[in-house]
Homo-oligomer: A and B are copies of this chain.
Amino acid sequence: MNDPLLSRFYGVIPAGGTGTRLWPLSRAAAPKFLHDLTGSGSTLIRATYDRLVPLAGNRIMVVTGEAHGTAVTAQLPELSAADLVLESEPKDSAAAIGLAAAILFRRDPETIMGSFAADQVIGPVEVFQEAVREAVHAAATGKIVTIGIEPTYPSTGFGYIRCGESLGVVGAEHAQNVVEFVEKPDEDVAKDYVDSGEYLWNAGMFVAPVALMLQHLRENEPELAAGVEKIAAAWDTDQRDAVTAAVWPTLPKTAIDYAVAEPAAAAGDVAVVPGKFTWDDVGDFAALGRLNPASDAGGMTVMGDGARVYVDDANGIVVSDTRRVIALIGIKDVVVVDTPDALLVTTKDHAQQVKGAVEALKAHGEVDVL
């Protein structure tokens, strides 16, 4: 994109979480973002990276678990070691995004970072990119800018953003102040939110001057801020690994929403750009079914290159990660996920309960398949 302000922009991709509700497709060793969940030919993290390139060029940083370093590098061969933060243990989003902000601040205090999770599905990419471009302009006025998704239904699975008056920024015509962030509502409240037209879904996307991110982090989580700044001071030196190894495990574990976004909103420092693109965090197998068209007239979505599926009077989604023949007869909205060492059979209505299954399997010591 041709916009001089983008020279200050740096993309950050937090790639965490195992996507428990997508077990046994998504695993601790092969989380959601390392899968192609849309049949596009790209893994979610590769697609996330590619969406940012027109805005950031190769100025993109990834924060992920140590176990995924090799897989991420294989997906993103152009990523330099200095732009790959490997967490020795998960510390939630405030540490991940805070460390990225601190590193980028030391490289250039004028940087405007944009943080986008590695496991979201977005389209069309041009509409997303235009929203980010506006967000960068709004951020340059001294705001933490989130991109809110226009709700398509009264979801109880997402947090919401209450929008205020227009920010009136040239180059960010759609940017508005954020009145508040609200937690996942119940169904009635969600309906009121959607009907009011004042609320957007919180997709966890933040575009902000790194200086402002760090300022709020220092105010709300001084210990965390001091820790990430200590690592950042060593990052682009030969002390990177030693200092990171010493400090990272000591960092408090908290979400960026509590550490920065909500207090900053209360302080009037947060704006929002509405995103008119489609957005899905592929939260469960029902979502996977929505994202992938049915393979037959009966409404069965079949995923998997080697799938050998026979369907009689059934619909839903089958994910086949084996060469086994799968016969499905007479179940509506079925979800079948067939992998070499684990099999899930449920329905779309129960897609959220998959998380409970994973927890139970863990409690029963069946850790080899998690």
Tell me which of A310, A325, A330, A340 has the highest count of chain B C-beta atoms within 10 A of its own C-beta.
A325
Residue interface mask A310-346, B partner, CB < 8 A = 1: 1011000000000111111111001010101111111
A323 to B366, CA, bound (A): 12
Q: Is the CB of B364 within 8 A of A310?
A: yes
A369 contacts the other chain (Cβ, under 8 Å)? Answer: yes
Q: Which residues of B contact A345 (CB under 8 A)?
A: 326-329, 331, 334, 336, 345
Given contacts A308-B366, A310-B357, A357-B312, whether A327 and B344 have CB atoms under 8 Å apart is yes
A360 contacts the other chain (Cβ, under 8 Å)? Answer: yes
Q: Is the CB of B325 within 8 A of A356?
A: no
A354 contacts the other chain (Cβ, under 8 Å)? Answer: yes
By DSSP majority rule, is chain A's interface helix, strand, loop, or mixed? mixed
Q: Is the CB of A325 within 8 A of B361?
A: yes
Q: Is the CB of B310 within 8 A of A360?
A: yes
A198 contacts the other chain (Cβ, under 8 Å)? Answer: no
A347 contacts the other chain (Cβ, under 8 Å)? Answer: yes
Tell me which of A23, A328, A346, A360 has the highest count of chain B C-beta atoms within 10 A of its own C-beta.
A346
Q: Which residues of B contact A108 (CB under 8 A)?
A: none
A344 to B366, CA, bound (A): 23
Q: Which residues of B contact A23 (CB under 8 A)?
A: 327
| Contacts beyond the supplied A329-B357, A330-B353: 8 A-B pairs with Cβ under 8 Å | A310-B361, A310-B364, A312-B360, A324-B341, A325-B369, A327-B346, A328-B345, A330-B349
8 contacts between A and B (CB under 8 A): A313-B353, A324-B342, A327-B354, A329-B354, A330-B346, A330-B353, A331-B334, A345-B345
